[in-house]
Amino acid sequence: MATSEAVRQVMSGALPRFGCFNICLRNINGVVSVKSGVNTARKRSSVNAQLCTNARVSWDRRRICAFQGRSDVFHRKNHVSRFDSMSCKCQQAESFRGATAEDQHGEIFVDESDKAIPFPPNGVTSPTPDNGEFKADQQLKHEDGGFGSTSKATAARKSKGSTQKSKANLIEEEAWTLIKNSMVYYCNNPIGTIASNDPSSPSTLNYDQVFIRDFIPSGIAFLLKGEYDIVRNFILYTLQLQSWEKTMDCYSPGQGLMPASFKVRTVPLEGDDFATEDVLDPDFGDAAIGRVAPVDSGLWWIILLRAYGKCSGDVSVQERVDVQTGIKMILKLCLADGFDMFPTLLVTDGSCMIDRRMGIHGHPLEIQALFYSALLGAREMLAPEEASADLARALNNRLVALSFHIREYYWIDSRKLNEIYRYRTEEYSYDAVNKFNIYPDQIPSWLMGFMPSTGGYLIGNLQPAHMDFRFFSLGNLWSIVSSLATDEQSHAILDLIESKWDELVAEMPFKICYPALEGQEWQIIAGSDPKNTPWSYHNGGSWPTLLWQLTVACIKLNRPEIAAKAVEVAEKRISMDNWPEYYDTKRARFIGKKAQLYQTWSAAGYLVAKLLLADPSAAKNLVNEEDSELVNALSCMISASPRRKRGWKNQILV
Cβ(80)–Cβ(181) below 8 Å? yes
Confidence of residue 653 (pLDDT cuts 50, 70, 90): very low
Across 170-174, average pLDDT = 96
Of the ranges 57-66, 229-238, 548-557, which one carries the lowest mean pLDDT score?
57-66
Confidence of residue 80 (pLDDT cuts 50, 70, 90): very low
User: Would you state the pLDDT for residue 94?
Assistant: 34
Q: What is the CATH code of the structural domain delimited by 177-640?
A: 1.50.10.10
* % of the chain with per-residue pLDDT over 70: 70
User: Would you state the pLDDT for residue 532?
Assistant: 95
User: Would you state the pLDDT for residue 40?
Assistant: 38
Confidence of residue 270 (pLDDT cuts 50, 70, 90): confident
User: Would you state the pLDDT for residue 266?
Assistant: 83
List Cα–Cα distances, 100 to 277, 451, 560, in angstroms.
Answer: 27, 50, 35
State yes or no: pLDDT of 198 exceeds 90.
Answer: no
Cβ(371)–Cβ(424) below 8 Å? no
Instruction: Return the higher-pLDDT residue of 203 and 109.
Output: 203
CA distance 553 to 619: 9
Confidence of residue 250 (pLDDT cuts 50, 70, 90): low
Most confident range, picked from 201-205, 257-261, 631-635: 257-261
Across 469-477, average pLDDT = 98
Cβ(594)–Cβ(581) below 8 Å? no
Instruction: Return the higher-pLDDT residue of 70 and 644.
Output: 644
Confidence of residue 640 (pLDDT cuts 50, 70, 90): low
Strand residues in 26-73 grouped as ranges (E): 32-36, 50-51, 64-68
Nearest CA to 602 out of 113, 319, 182, 111 is that of 182
Instruction: Return the higher-pLDDT residue of 609 and 106.
Output: 609
User: Would you state the pLDDT for residue 246?
Assistant: 61
User: Would you state the pLDDT for residue 187?
Assistant: 84
User: Would you state the pLDDT for residue 568?
Assistant: 97
Mean residue pLDDT of the chain comes to 78
Confidence of residue 499 (pLDDT cuts 50, 70, 90): very high
User: Would you state the pLDDT for residue 417?
Assistant: 95
State yes or no: pLDDT of 83 exceeds 70.
Answer: no
Instruction: Return the higher-pLDDT residue of 147 and 633.
Output: 633
CA distance 580 to 590: 10
CA distance 654 to 644: 19
Annotated domain spans of the chain = 177-640
Confidence of residue 632 (pLDDT cuts 50, 70, 90): confident
Of the ranges 217-226, 519-528, 545-554, 626-635, which one carries the lowest mean pLDDT score?
626-635
Cβ(446)–Cβ(338) below 8 Å? no
Cβ(230)–Cβ(183) below 8 Å? yes
Angle, helices 149-181/600-614, rounded to nearest 10 degrees: 130
List Cα–Cα distances, 647 to 507, 637, 642, 652, in angstroms.
Answer: 50, 10, 13, 10
Across 565-593, average pLDDT = 97
State yes or no: pLDDT of 86 exceeds 60.
Answer: no
Burial class (CB in 10 A: 0-12, 13-18, 19+), 622: buried
User: Would you state the pLDDT for residue 100?
Assistant: 39
Across 156-169, average pLDDT = 69
State yes or no: pLDDT of 22 exceeds 60.
Answer: no
User: Would you state the pLDDT for residue 60?
Assistant: 42
Cβ(539)–Cβ(526) below 8 Å? yes
CA distance 418 to 414: 6
Across 464-472, average pLDDT = 95
Nearest CA to 260 out of 213, 312, 324, 202 is that of 213
Interval 286-337: pLDDT, tens: 776 767 888 999 999 999 999 999 999 999 999 999 999 999 999 999 998 8
Across 504-512, average pLDDT = 97
User: Would you state the pLDDT for residue 605?
Assistant: 98
State yes or no: pLDDT of 102 exceeds 50.
Answer: no
State yes or no: pLDDT of 199 exceeds 70.
Answer: yes
Nearest CA to 211 out of 278, 299, 283, 303 is that of 283
Classify strands 466-468 and 471-472 as parallel, antiparallel or unpaired: unpaired
Find the distance separating the first CA and the last CA of the chain, reported in whole Å: 24
